[in-house]
């Protein structure tokens, strides 16, 4: 059976972990705001809903940890929130016009197709053999 190690984490290490957590969340939000290009496509993609969620989570952490953070933690968290909120406003306004950005909007329901009157069948519909399927043979 595996032994359980009871480790105590020093205050300095906890501060470092908290700052890393805040910076990771801020980096994810910056990525969603299009400030960091997608690693595979090289294009910046904007997802405002996800960016807002990540920023709101940082604000929630700030509220829930009020009076429990040291000065460095408070300063870094407040700075990250402030920078992200400004970037969010700029993204909503569309100020940073970058041709490399792709805006991801929430999915809208597909438009309803209009009912068209019955038309004459196309040649493929009239004669099913008119359009042959391609079949690849690997040789036998």
The verdict on residue 35 lying in a domain is yes
pLDDT reported for residue 45: 86
Provide the pLDDT confidence category of residue 17 given band limits of 50, 70 and 90: very high
pLDDT reported for residue 52: 95
The verdict on residue 83 lying in a domain is yes
- The tens digit of pLDDT for each residue in 63-78 reads 999 999 999 999 999 9
pLDDT reported for residue 10: 84
pLDDT of 137 strictly over 50: yes
The verdict on residue 69 lying in a domain is yes
The verdict on residue 7 lying in a domain is no
Provide the pLDDT confidence category of residue 11 given band limits of 50, 70 and 90: confident
CATH number for the domain harbouring residue 69: 1.20.58
pLDDT reported for residue 96: 52
The verdict on residue 43 lying in a domain is yes
Helices (H), 33-70: 48-64
The verdict on residue 53 lying in a domain is yes
Query: Region 53-72: what's the mean pLDDT?
Result: 95
Of 28, 16, 128, nearest to 87 (Cα)?
28
The verdict on residue 119 lying in a domain is no
Lowest-pLDDT range, 42-51, 54-63, 84-93, 97-106?
97-106
| CA separation, residue 127 to residues 4, 119, 120, 123 (Å) | 74, 16, 13, 6
Question: Total domain count for the chain?
Answer: 1
Q: Which domain holds residue 47?
A: 13-103
Query: H or E segment at 76?
Result: helix 71-93
The verdict on residue 123 lying in a domain is no
């Amino acid at each position: 059976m595996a032994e359980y190690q009871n480790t105590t984490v020093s205050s300095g290490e906890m501060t470092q972990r908290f700052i890393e957590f805040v910076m990771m969340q801020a980096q994810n939000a910056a990525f969603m705001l299009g400030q960091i290009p997608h690693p595979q496509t090289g294009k910046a993609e904007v997802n405002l809903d996800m960016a807002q969620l990540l920023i709101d989570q940082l604000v929630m952490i700030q509220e829930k940890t009020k009076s429990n953070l040291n000065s460095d933690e408070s300063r870094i968290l407040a700075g990250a929130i402030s920078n992200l909120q400004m970037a969010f406003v700029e993204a909503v306004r569309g100020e940073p016009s970058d041709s490399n950005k792709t805006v991801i909007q929430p999915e809208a329901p597909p438009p309803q197709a209009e009912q068209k009157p019955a038309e004459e069948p196309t040649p493929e519909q009239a004669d099913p053999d008119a359009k042959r399927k391609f079949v690849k043979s690997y040789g036998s």
